[in-house]
Amino acid sequence: MSNRSSILIIFTGGTIGMIKKVNNYVPINFNELIKYCPEIDELNYYLEIIGFNPPIDSAEMSPKIWTKIVEVIEKNYTKFDGFVILHGTDTMAYTASAISFMLQNLNKPIVFTGSQLPIGVHRTDAKENLITSIEIAGSRSFGKAIVPEVCIYFENKLMRGNRTHKYSSNEFNAFSSNNYPILAQAGIDINYNQNVISKGALKTLKIHKKIKNTIGILKLFPGIAKENVYSLLRNDFFDAIILQTYGCGNTIQENWFIDELKDFNNKGKILINTSQCETGNIVQGRYKTSQIFIDLEIINSYDMTLESVVTKTMLLLGESTEKKIFKAKFEQSFCGELTKIEK
């Protein structure tokens, strides 16, 4: 390879790789996709492409496929300066979060992108997202990657992968990073916010592939039936339950509900407090309605996205289901996924 930046494009599937035939959108392979974006040839980068066959709808994404993506990166990590992963938008934030935890000590860009409209449609957002993602993945300063972390580029914004959430199913501006500043804004130039970008690790890349999905999500709502709660908290399958609570971490105070939390907790199981709000933080103990979480030493997710909470929980359960070990690790930031804010 020459002094040009070398980029590996990993095409997993998604809307970006579809064209319209008759009344339906159908997937195409990546070589066909390139035909719809000839501008890629004008980039002064060395590009290689690996495509999943068949392409994967992001609704079918799973830990098994996360591992497959990681293994492709692991095999090619020393060969390329950066990676672009084309992915369906529905679960992109989950995959980006998972990959950020599975690849520790990262010092190269891994840029996820996709599109809201297929590349074969006239008003598609696919071309700009793809071209700019490649440019970001290949951008270096003094020989080092400018953005050495897992991120998502979409509609002119570069965001930390484990801080990103898809909030719109029909707008081009489909993703947000509510609790962390954007890493870069693309206009005429790409303006990087260096103060919030990871500096990159000096240690050897470390891979984590053990994932355990014995988790459940209990979303609170007024009038929630006991049966809904019992189905999760009384089920021995689950090692961890993610509680989606109100506001900054407040919960129901009825005795039956508190008793269920205590029983689950006393079994040595893991409870994680996360907010239904997309912006803000969990602050346990600010109100009386969250004091129970302090009393039971329930795990605080602070300002993490649900996608980040889910994937980090799976990865940590793969290492240990012992509550004290899990809590100590979960409440620490691995790769910029949380900011601790106390009462």
Residues known to be catalytic: 15
- Any idea how long the chain is? 343
| Exposure of 217 in the CB half-sphere (CA atoms within 13 A) | 14
| 61 Cβ contact partners less than 8 Å away, ≥ 6 residues apart | 88, 91, 94, 95
d(CA 221, CA 331): 26
* Alpha-carbon distance values, 8 to 103, 162, 202 (Å): 16, 21, 22
Give dist(CA 343, CA 330) in Å, integer.
Answer: 19
Task: Select from 172, 145, 148 the least CA-distant residue to 16.
Answer: 172
Residue whose pair of structure tokens reads 């239904």 in the numeric block = 276
Indicate the DSSP class of residue 204.
P
| Element containing residue 218 per DSSP (H, E) | strand 215-219
> 239 is written with which tokens?
């090692």
Which residue from 175, 147, 162 is spatially nearest to 95, judged by alpha carbons? 162
Is the peptide bond preceding residue 109 cis, with omega within 30 degrees of 0?
A: no
Indicate the residue type of 23.
N
